[in-house]
Amino acid sequence: MPAVKPIGPAPAPTATGTAAARTPPTATGPATKPAAPTAPPTGATPPGAAILPAPAVAVVPAAKPAPPSPVTAPRAAPANAPAPAEPPAAAKPAAIPVPAAAPVAAPKRASDNMFDFCCRLSVTPAAAPAPSPASSPAPPAPGVPPAAVAKPAGAAPPASPGPAVAPAAVEKPAVAAKTTVPAPAAAVAKRASEHMFDLCCKLSVTPAAAAKSKAAKPKKPDRAPVTESGAIADERAHFLAGLPVPATSPLAALEQTDDWKAHAAAMEDAWKRLMRRISIVDGWVASDLAPRVKPDLNLLYFFGGPDALHVMHFFPDAPSYLLCGLEPVGDVAPPEKLAPAEVDQALDSLRHALRTAIPASFFRTNEMGKDLRGKDIRGVMPIVYLFLARTRARMLEVHAIEIDPKGNVRDKPDGEEWGDGIPGVRVYFQREGKPPQMLAYVRIDLSDASLAKKPGFLAYARTFAPANGFLKAASFILHNKAFSTTRSFLLQNSAALLQDDSGIPYAAFRRTDWDFSYFGVYAAPRPPFSRSFQQDLADAFTTAGPPTQLPFLVGYRRITDSNLLLAVRRDASAAVPGRADAR
């Protein structure tokens, strides 16, 4: 096994403190029906189109405008103002010069080398605030009674939701005026690290690639994972996470090998760096988020993939979590029964998946498909296992599930082939000081065309309502009219929604139905999402008061322009109710 490299770039300094929410005056006039949304731009070079060599040669994009600055002093738009004009179609972005691929002797992909190199340059001491010592996570709030999750969502057919109120149409944002900067000044101001950061974004995801990857028809795995008892699943989770198992475990001998010890050391180093940021999130949640929402509601996290870590820290008291994405459910086979080479490959894939997720705060769908494609330890399950073990959760049960067209959930017998239903997995776990909780992951394409063929998913998801919603690094996919069903579902079934600007367009929220809080700084999105600028959101951030920087990075942003919007429904009872046993 090659030497294990530290996971991710060197830790970027993080800020301390919290960002005060800015809430504008409540709108009283009727909401104006906005125009329909526009699809994200297409035609950009998709990730993986060319393989870059190791970063011996610096690749600098063609002349680019200076990075967008935070929006300042635009006039606030009244609640009943007419919708902004439709933005003109953006020109197709110029292709990024890519040198010819050269053979690489090391097994690591050349594109991975370039990504690691870009991550190390993406945040500089000048761009980041002064470092602060890691703080302990906030003490957990009292949970709901354990009986509340005795049988989480999916135990019986869902109740009829009744007629749903159609949400407001989506406004088409206006294009912000561009500030002209003299070429010499722009060249001096544009640091090489910013060029590399922008290049990294272009290579990692484009609107066309995001729509294609998120709307592509997922391939069905051959068989469902084996249902596991809590003790067995817990030991495997600890093994994958680089944590010790009991001496009586069949995995204890494997943890004595040099390969596993190197894996454990790399995981420990990566986790310490990740927790420096997550501990700041915990403090912000306790002071700024929890007082504004009902923290004991279920949680919907669409497009989140296997990112159980962030959702469990932003909403630590949710009885049940529903995550979904295109990544396969996967499996965690007994490591002690695998060949040493297979175990080493699985551990290396886990480290690689975290190496891209830790600096970026999100998983890339394309990277996930490459990283966790092993034969026996693959897909979402190993990542979920790792996060649960590292958050000191004790796993109680793991069940492979399949959802039928009516939303009914059936536990799959061990190793049974996947049928025509929607595949997923439910993990029951318990953290110290909290009642038992449940996390479900479902593999589903959330485009309108796919949901029309698989109505069972939304029927199942509705059993979690009313719920809190969370959207982060969602590729602006909900700005696309091809995902209007998912957008409407979240608006109808959420008591509160926390999202960065890549989630639901601000124009889709009826101003008379929601109260808003604004955190951080809203600036025009960087390429390749420049056309997703929202003038009405910029106006709302400005009207709310002077911007206050979020103390942590979120989504596709740097810490200097990370932003979160919290929308709380004024009448929470208006959310479509689900079954009582979903909570």
- 482-500 confidence digits (pLDDT tens): 999 999 999 999 999 999 9
CB 532 within 8 A of CB 40: yes
Q: How far is it, in rounded angstroms, from Cα 9 to Cα 7?
A: 7
- What per-residue confidence (pLDDT) applies to 387? 93
Q: Would you state the pLDDT for residue 278? A: 92
**DSSP E strand boundaries for 253-392:** 298-301, 320-325, 331-332, 377-378
Cα separation of 342 and 362, whole Å?
Answer: 26
Q: Which amino acid is at 58?
A: A
Sign of torsion, CA 267 278 368 328? positive
Per the model's pLDDT, the better-predicted residue between 340 and 99 turns out to be: 340
Q: pLDDT class for 378, splitting at 50, 70, 90?
A: confident
Q: Which of 178, 42, 77, 88 is nearest to 506 (CA)?
A: 77
User: Is residue 124's pLDDT more than 60?
Assistant: no
Q: Tell me, what's the pLDDT at 455?
A: 95
> Of the given ranges (198-202, 385-389, 510-514), which has the lowest mean pLDDT?
198-202
- Residue 573: pLDDT band (50, 70, 90) is low
Band of pLDDT at residue 227, cut at 50, 70 and 90: low
pLDDT at 439: 98
The tokens for 183 are 């070429």
Query: What is the average per-residue pLDDT within 19-37?
Result: 51
* pTM over 0.75, yes/no: no
Q: For 328-356, write each residue's pLDDT tens digit.
A: 999 898 999 999 999 998 898 888 877 76
Segment 275-279 mean pLDDT: 91
339 Cβ contact list (under 8 Å, min separation 6): none
Quick one: pLDDT band at residue 267, thresholds 50, 70, 90?
A: very high
The confidence score (pLDDT) of residue 291 equals 96
Q: At what angle do helices 380-390 and 340-360 cross, to 10 degrees?
A: 70
pLDDT digits (tens, 9 = 90+) for 494-536: 999 999 999 999 999 999 999 999 999 999 998 899 999 999 9
Distance, CA of 330 to CA of 398 (rounded, Å): 13
For the chain, what is the mean pLDDT?
A: 72
**Per-position b or e across 472-505, b if 16+ CB within 10 A of its CB:** bbbbbbbbbebbbbbbbbbbbbbbbbbbbbbbbb
411, with CB counted inside 10 A (0-12, 13-18, 19+), is middle
